[in-house]
Amino acid sequence: MNLSEIMTKELVTCTADETLTQAAKKMGDANVGSCPVVEGEQLVGLLTDRDIATRAVAKGLDPSTTKVSQVMTRDVITGHPQMSIEDACELLSENQIRRLPVVEGKKLVGFVALADLAIDVDEEEMVAETLHKISMPSKW
């Protein structure tokens, strides 16, 4: 099975010029913890609820005036539609991430969260191991 079979295709996205308040409202309305940042259809970054909390609010930045571009992750790790679930789990583990935008070229075509990978019993153990590796502290 590959990512194209399990990825979310109806995406909530934001732009780099939106304020954090605007992006957070979109994320809250959709009940998601992250928002791919796009220019047209091209992925240019990723904004997470944690980014808003740690890179903006905790540093005293005003979410109503701070732009997404100021706190988003720019070098986003991505998967591709034909990537296997096993390869996606390995990529998530290696990079200690829980979310994976799916792109074709630079065009954003979907999104996979760690929970999406646990689609059947055969993958449960692999996903559990991935979660364990993601949750381990980074080595300095």
Residue 86 has pLDDT above 60, yes or no: yes
CA angle centred on 23, ends 21 and 27, rounded to 5°: 115
In this structure, are residues 22 and 65 in contact, taking their beta carbons and an 8 Å threshold? no
- How crowded is residue 82: how many other Cβ atoms within 10 Å of its Cβ? 11
Six-digit token pair at 68? 């997404």
Q: In the block, which residue shows the tokens 């999104």?
A: 111
SS3 34: strand
Q: Rounded distance, CA 106 to CA 98, Å?
A: 20
What pTM was computed for the model? 0.84
CA distance 98 to 58: 22
Report pLDDT digits (tens) over 30-46.
Answer: 999 999 999 999 999 99
* Domain locations along the chain: 3-135
Band (102; pLDDT cuts 50, 70, 90)? very high
Distance CA 95, CA 98 (A): 9
CA–CA dist 37, 68 (Å, integer): 8
**Check: CATH 3.40.250.10 for 3-135?**
no
